[in-house]
Amino acid sequence: QVQVVESGGGLVQAGGSLRLSCTASGLRFGDLNMGWFRQAPGKERDGVSCITWSSTTYYADSVKGRFTISRDSAKNTLYLEMNSLKPEDTAMYYCAAGIPCTTAWATKPDHLTYRGQGTQVTVSA
C-alpha cells in the first residue's frame, strides 16, 4: 500500500523559513521523480518544484532563489526548504510521487500518480 505523508507546515511571519518533509512508503522511492505543489482556497493548483530520481531539479518562477528541493533516498524522504516566505506563499502544500518532473510540471502539475493529504503553510504579513 502506497502512503505519502507530508509534515512541517505551520504559521510563520513574512521573511521567515520552514522546512517541509514528505515520507513515502510502499513504492520504489529511489526510482521515482518527486515534487511539491500547492493550492490555496479558491485557487488553482500551482507547481512549486520537482526533483528527478537522479536529482535534477526544477522550480516555479515564483519560488526560484527562495525554495530548495532535495531528497534522501536512504530515508525515502523528500524535503522542501522554504526561505524568505511571503504571504502569497500561503497554501496547502502537497507532495507527489511518480510524476513527470519537468519545467512544465513545476509550473502546472497536471499529472499526479501518488499524493499526500497536504500540510498547511500560512505566512502572516
- pLDDT per residue as tens digits for the range 89-112: 999 999 999 999 999 999 999 888
Q: What is the pLDDT of residues 1-29, one digit of tens each?
A: 999 999 999 999 999 999 999 999 999 99
Q: What is the pLDDT of residues 32-84, one digit of tens each?
A: 999 999 999 999 999 999 999 999 999 999 999 999 999 999 999 999 999 99
Please report, for residues 9, 17, 47, 67, 108, the alpha-carbon distance to residue 38 in angstroms, rounded to integers and kept in the order given. 12, 16, 6, 13, 10
Q: What H or E segment, with its residue span, contains residue 103?
A: helix 103-107
Burial of 4 (0-12, 13-18, 19+ CB in 10 A): buried
Cα atoms in the 13 Å half-sphere on the side-chain side of 122: 5
